[in-house]
Structure 1
Amino acid sequence: MTWIYYDADTARWQHVRIGTGETSQFEETGFKGSGDLDAGRIDGVPMSCVAAIEPFHGNTVAIYTRDPESDPATARWSRQVLDVYGDPMKMAKVRAIKSSAGAMAVAGGHVLQNGR
């Protein structure tokens, strides 16, 4: 997973790796990394977390968080698995479907919905 941002000081696009995603299911599924992603806020701070389905079309729900006081470009991000469901071989064939209400995740007791 890579954080991509525009650095106004250097007038260039920058990229920083913030996580590798799920890697332990590759032998079973042929997939690794992260699939569907959605950025969210914690305590009103934008881009302080990223929720992911892992690996690509996978069966693991994870959230990446950083200290909301830190700069996202230089912050240390941590990954926490929220849930693992189903058989990875069956789940590799299932696509994540977002409801009309949007994806929802819970981080540190805060409910995140549609990046807010």
Structure 2
Amino acid sequence: MKYVCLVYGEEKDLHALTPAKSAKLDADSLAYDRALEESGLLIVAQALQSVKTAKTVRRRQGKRLVIDGPFAETKEQLLGFVMIEAGDLEAPLDIAAGIPLAELGTIEVRAIYDIPGS
């Protein structure tokens, strides 16, 4: 089964890191991704650009509506994701706990929905 680990945190916490701590977080994150890849579990891992670059799209009555930023007004923003393939939920939970940003934010683990007939 495929799972996605959604990485949430506050961008302000990332901006508050010293250059050395920011570089260490980047290096630790890349090393973790490489370890997952070598284990055969990783499908894809990506950090996202600032929430300031995000757009939210809705369609209402056939018209496209675009607004700046994320839809929900929350303290935490989606910062990135890790998609893996694992036999059960326990492996993704362990992987999520090892994501370096788990110390600053929150990791949501969710199974991918397979659309019947796809």
With the length of structure 2 as denominator, give the TM-score of the two structures. Answer: 0.27
Specify which structure has the higher proportion of strand: 1
Specify which structure has the higher proportion of helix: 2
Q: Which has the larger radius of gyration?
A: 2
With the length of structure 1 as denominator, give the TM-score of the two structures. Answer: 0.27
